[in-house]
Amino acid sequence: RGHPLILVVAPAGYGKTTLVVDWLGQSGMPSAWLQLDEADNDPIRFFTYLVAALQERHPQVGQTLLDALHRTVPESPEALAHLLINDLAAVDEPVLLALDDYHLIRAELIQQAMGLFLEHAPPNLCLAVLTRVDPPFPLPRLRVRGLMTEIRSAQLRFTPEEMTAFLNSLHGLDLSVGQIEALE
């Protein structure tokens, strides 16, 4: 909490989704979840689904953005970002939005709008981005300003002790140190 961006970057199978789902369940924070796919590179589809996810908890959020999208696709990433920022700023409780599989998003307009969205995020917003590669956000600027938490594969990887406990204790196996090292 307190950072507008939680960035979880690791290859497939490292438990990014499991980690964030578990964290959300334990935190009790109200949240919105958007599972992305290749088709979400269309700006209208991306922002429509993003708003729909937010509106499950906050029905008033994003309506101005949806209205603008129905008229025409805004060519300006600033227009997309600021319409959503203004609506989120009016919400009187924390808003947590998780975007899973963000690495599938390559559309430049979406990337620029999301970067602006993060740089000007209202204080009540926390965006969790789960991805296999760094998104083209202004990450150095966000790091320097202390506006992000990063979780990477090194933090998600089992230590040898955790691997031993997981395989031998939890699953009732009796593997040698050499076998565990080979699996690791």
Q: Looking at the predicted structure, is the pLDDT value of residue 108 above 70? A: yes
Q: Looking at the predicted structure, is the pLDDT value of residue 11 above 80? A: yes
- Report the mean per-residue pLDDT for the chain: 92
172 vs 7, residue with greater confidence: 7
* Contact in structure between 98 and 128 (CB atoms under 8 Å): yes
pLDDT of residue 41: 97
What is the mean predicted confidence (pLDDT) over 23-44? 93
Q: Looking at the predicted structure, is the pLDDT value of residue 166 above 90? A: no
175 vs 2, residue with greater confidence: 175
pTM: 0.88
Q: Looking at the predicted structure, is the pLDDT value of residue 27 above 90? A: no
Q: How far apart are CA 84 and CA 157, in angstroms?
A: 35
**pLDDT band (50, 70, 90) for residue 1:** low
What is the mean predicted confidence (pLDDT) over 113-140? 94
Q: Looking at the predicted structure, is the pLDDT value of residue 75 above 80? A: no
Q: How far apart are CA 140 and CA 155, in angstroms?
A: 20
- φ, ψ of residue 32 in degrees (nearest 5): -125, 145
Q: Looking at the predicted structure, is the pLDDT value of residue 46 above 70? A: yes
Chain-centroid distance, C-alpha 163: 27
- φ, ψ of residue 134 in degrees (nearest 5): -60, 130
Percent of the chain surpassing pLDDT 90: 67
**pLDDT band (50, 70, 90) for residue 181:** confident
